[in-house]
Amino acid sequence: KNQVEQSPQSLIILEGKNCTLQCNYTVSPFSNLRWYKQDTGRGPVSLTIMTFSENTKSNGRYTATLDADTKQSSLHITASQLSDSASYICVVTWFSGGYNKLIFGAGTRLAVHP
């Protein structure tokens, strides 16, 4: 069964600290893996997209890693800011029937406190 599991479910850190979010998936065939940030009341916004041949991708203070062999990904946030408080969703693209399908994880809710 195609699944995406994220950990932890929620996380509280202090402003300025780093954190790492985890994503494990069992999706096959695998097209790519995306990390999205979702602010409360808004839709998901893409942070990074990685294909199976890429093992790291950065977007400012966000760095995603991918190990296609172990089917694991992580999102590292450096020097967190209050505005980083949001849900972070790992999404794996599954190629089926000629089209891509997005399989979503349940997300990690991050709270950054001053």
Partner 1 sequence: EAGVTQFPSHSVIEKGQTVTLRCDPISGHDNLYWYRRVMGKEIKFLLHFVKESKQDESGMPNNRFLAERTGGTYSTLKVQPAELEDSGVYFCASSRRDRTHYGYTFGSGTRLTVV
Binding part of the chain for partner 1, among 17-25, 42-50, 54-62, 66-74 by CB under 8 A, reads 42-50
Of the residues 7, 12, 17, 45, which one makes contact with partner 1 according to CB under 8 A: 45
Regarding 10 and contact with partner 1 (CB under 8 A), the answer is no
Of 21, 23, 44, 92, the residue at the interface with partner 1 (CB under 8 A) is 44
Contact with partner 1 (CB under 8 A) among 19, 37, 84, 107: 107
Residues 6+ apart with CB under 8 A from 34: 46, 47, 48, 49, 50, 90, 91, 92, 93, 102
For residues 50 to 79, the per-residue mask of contacts with partner 1, x marking binding by CB under 8 A and - elsewhere, is: -x----------------------------
Distance, in Å, from the CA atom of 67 to the CA atom of 72, rounded to the nearest integer, reads 5
Alpha carbons 105 and 89: distance in angstroms, whole number? 6
Please state the length of the chain.
114
Total residues binding partner 1 (CB under 8 A): 23
